[in-house]
Amino acid sequence: MGDVSGHSTCDLQRRLVHLKALEIPPKKLVLKFEQVDTEELKDVEILFNGDRAVFKVGEGETSHYHVPNDKKLWETQFMICSIDGQYFIRDLGFVHASRLKLDTKCEVQIHKGCLVDLGKVVHYHFDKAIHLKEPTQKDSSSFYVLRHKKSYEVDPDDFPHLRARPTWVSAEEHIENIQNEINIYADGQRMINSLGRSMKRDIQIKLKAVSADHCAIAYNPEKGWTISERGKDRASSNGTYVFLKTLKQMRDHMPSDLIPLHDGMIISFVNYELRVRFEDKTAEEITAQTKAASLFFGQLDEEMAAKSYPTVPGPAGGAPVVKATTQPPEDPSAPASGGDGYVPE
């Protein structure tokens, strides 16, 4: 790296910075490749013990799990965060954002700003989501609430209303075959609205990549507005996806919120799909990981304390400048499955 003008000792080289998890999770997180671009990744499993606060997955070599030779991926496609004993995902994808894929078992709450991909051929942005009251249903392995700190728009004097508009349509499809605006009212007569290519659906999307019976959008006062493929014999052929980022986050090139992970979730990015699985740890494993983490970070603290950070005279009349020093190297004994820190990008 080159020197910063006026500071010949400044070193901008990337280094691994370890972040300590304040609480060791009681479960292991396993991410299994179910759909891949390269066969060598088929059924490969990524293990994360949560003994460090962050674990990064991406194309870049600074990621803790490196997906090689796929330039469609971002250097860090997403990161897994261990917070208060729970696991969260934060999408950092730039051109190709990460998504949550629906199966026939899950239901996902729709928030204002949510972006949904139907059949990989059309994206709908939900720019209005009005509720009768604030939803209170807690998330679970079959009901996903993606943004817990998101406020809800409530109007107890009118019917709940959901509105979506298309933001992108595949060049292989005819734009005149889609709904330019979807408006759904929960008026008490119809609380579940089916969506698909068939004329029998409540909302018809006449695109060949959209299944005849693709998905359903429902309203429940306790859950709010939701989208799912539940109650079907099999999932739609080309899938229903909810982006981890809002449309605004995509346009502003911002990371997503911290999304809670649940057992059985499917994380999709580019042409890859990862299935989330949790496994219980034994008491001995938790004790061993806690001791190992304390020892590891204790050694880092000692090394940092031993480093000196001398000052050098600043410009005339200015404050002294702290001379840059090299940070301690990565501990080579740290296990690959749990060696998770954050590298500034």
Residue 170, both tokens? 């595949």
48 and 120 together in one domain: no
Give the count of domains, the chain. Answer: 2
In this structure, is residue 259 part of a structural domain?
Answer: yes
pLDDT at 177: 84
pLDDT at 152: 95
In this structure, is residue 299 part of a structural domain?
Answer: no
179 and 227 together in one domain: yes
Transcribe 203-263 into DSSP letters: EE---TTS-TT-EEEEEETTTEEEEE-TT-SS--SS-EEEESS-HHHHHTT-PPP-EEP-T
Query: Residue 47 is part of a domain; what is its CATH number?
Result: 2.60.200.20
pLDDT at 122: 96
Of 187, 220, 243, the residue that ends a domain is 243
Q: Are 246 and 113 contacting, i.e. CB atoms less than 8 angstroms apart? A: yes
280 and 171 together in one domain: no
Question: Domain of 278?
Answer: 12-97+254-291
Who's near 300: CB < 8 A, 6+ residues apart? 18, 328, 331
| Ranges of the chain whose pLDDT falls below 50 | 1-4, 319-345
Who's near 276: CB < 8 A, 6+ residues apart? 29, 30, 31, 261, 262, 263, 264, 265, 266, 267
148 and 229 together in one domain: yes
- Distance, in Å, from the CA atom of 90 to the CA atom of 159, rounded to the nearest integer, reads 34
pLDDT at 316: 54
pLDDT at 312: 52
149 and 213 together in one domain: yes
pLDDT at 300: 85
pLDDT at 126: 98
In this structure, is residue 125 part of a structural domain?
Answer: yes
**Side-chain half-sphere of 15: how many Cα atoms within 13 Å?**
13
